[in-house]
Structure 1
């Protein structure tokens, strides 16, 4: 398996992967909208491939921490083809994305997900890092990881397509 930047010719395969990996089409629709948004960061849309087959995908898009409008990343969705789940592909993708983000000088990544799963990547409840979720009801499921010293503090705002979920 190799992990690399997603190519435009793979968009349909990545969409099909997300449709298969999730019970609804929400993630696939979100991904299509994120690619058209100003918050899209092509270097942070990664695929896992085996031969010519796309077996996993992860993306992070530009978000902001208010009130100062400091740049941050919103991680997700992360998807792995159902017949390949449970084999560490998602783990490899998240580690790769965080490494690319850190190398690119990003200071903070946030996500909404299972705290038990994402703790392995260094994510903590966001409030422990001084980052408030867009929806207070998300509680411990909204998590953050500082990628550099001086990570911003405040209320996180996702790229615009997340507002329509």
Structure 2
């Protein structure tokens, strides 16, 4: 086959989506296959970065900031792990929104590498908000609960 005919055949298919072409003439078989058979840019657009913070997370952050300004305290995670509200799978939560907790009271469990760590309250007052969903991962220092401090009767008298 002449070089000019081969070039003409290549030119004819270069701007098409034909992946392979074969031709036979006088017992001589010639073919071409595209080396970079793949996806076109149109079928797979350029990857875009994913916004790790969803609108829900942003709303939670705004709510946490406004609550901090209201004098509420937070019970934070002392470690990285998986959050559980009960001490047994499918069990009753250790604390609910509206419950009163004392300092040292067990409020949740965080599991890390099959080790269960009991998390206790470092604040005394009413649980106003559970900030983490069951079985969600938590980070070190991440707020778990919001607590409205309990004002004792003797403290009220001092302020009068």
Length-normalised TM-score, structure 2: 0.22
**By percentage of residues, which structure has more helix?**
1
Question: Which structure is higher in RCO with an 8 Å CA cutoff and minimum separation 6?
Answer: 1
Q: Which has the higher Rg, Structure 1 or Structure 2?
A: 2
Length-normalised TM-score, structure 1: 0.21
